[in-house]
Structure 1
């Protein structure tokens, strides 16, 4: 589980766009694709901000088209309307081990550089015992309790963590930072809406409401300074995820097996693409994940700097879940 605020204040316009695509699935079209924004949506807006959003959207759409997400469809055949409700995003920049329950507390796996958790003094290896008096040690679903406790707090609320470090109990305090994202609507293209992915195996089955659901996302916002790079979800439990062109896939809560392809830019590697593609499935690997209800898991390809020269069997990279974000799933 990750509660993350990576780059939140520095990239608010870009973040709004990223959150839109991460929540409801990516889209793409060529540079000439038509974007529609109603007069109500733009009334009173800052022209410079609006222009920046348009430019970043154009660049993102062009990149997605070049990646082949829409196959051989022309721009005239693409049509997609995306809506996202207004929401508050509260992030800590804190990655905890939610996959393995521990009676001694929530183990911190990593913190985002410059994030709230790091500013409070928390670091990898700490064990969280309580937040604002709510116990996280020796209780079932501690990761979900932490996430829910943070989500229920208003912006600027005090945060007081009790944690164990090197055998000693310490207190770390700070304030919650959150961002209010407006409701958004995006319309791209004017052709027929793309259908779900076809071919064998079949598309991922519909979600059973009684099970609860979450999402898996390969939207690329992973920080390169942490050796995290773009990845593509090729299959979920042996099924091709859909609809085609999406970057976020709804799945039942529980255990899933993913087939992941790395999309690391060649400039980060010490060998050429001929060697890179020479081994069978060297760019494809399996990743097993546990998806909690109302949670989105972001996947990426982690480049192993110590094995940057080892192209055989894809030794240079591993698929990882680099971020986990709370998100309602109906």
Structure 2
């Protein structure tokens, strides 16, 4: 999340629902209409970028993002010539509503989420959502008076996002609004987009786990080929899949340093895995969760085939989501595979 300072006093948040970006703008404003006037230049900037090729636009945005990460210390003291990592993501569906809402705090969403603006051509714009509307409910799920989330933002924004993520392709979506002080209902079809499979390498090559170079002490029937293991968190939450923490490979912990893709030799490998399930999905608090200190990790054996990437996640077991002892509520899984060359 980036803080965009405009030189004003108080801080108001706007969350882009259906995407991966949260925008926080400093502004001393009394209502959503005033805040919307500050969001308008963002929409204009988006329109102006349509004249460049997708490759040029993506390259420029990646350059800005990497510069921000370097300046913020995300890579620590690693010299730029030594920064190397790879991001792999399978083809995935994205249900994007395209609405900016005031998610600064629960107090800002007592009656529901206030709409700050919509992105041009989005589902929100097509459905008729507009600045100043207050979204009181979505598909009969109330967004009013839900208070703050763990970060102090409006919990209603998370509820709205979860509702969108759970909908199938071309699902009907219904909003109960407050517009100009009066109740109003709108409905329509939420259009989904498919994001193509992604393989992005930053730096001179793929960061390699030490265990993957030698095959690891736990490797058996090792061949000459290699595959990859990805812990990049793109697992679909509607399938009860969540982020995994990779602790070691074949009993050997490498200086992972934030890398998310690992090259492994062909053959069997043993992974030690931890869970990174967000607290909102669990039926118990962090005190119980952290009490399982004797055995917080689980192992998973995988047979790596040549030129195959394996996507690691953890599955939340729904009928045991309140059983915190011995970590009964989760298990490590390979949830997806893709074929790609591994040199």
What TM-score results when the alignment is normalised by the length of structure 1? Answer: 0.45
What TM-score results when the alignment is normalised by the length of structure 2? Answer: 0.44
Structure with bigger gyration radius: 2
- Specify which structure has the bigger relative contact order, considering alpha-carbon pairs within 8 angstroms and separated by 6 or more residues: 1
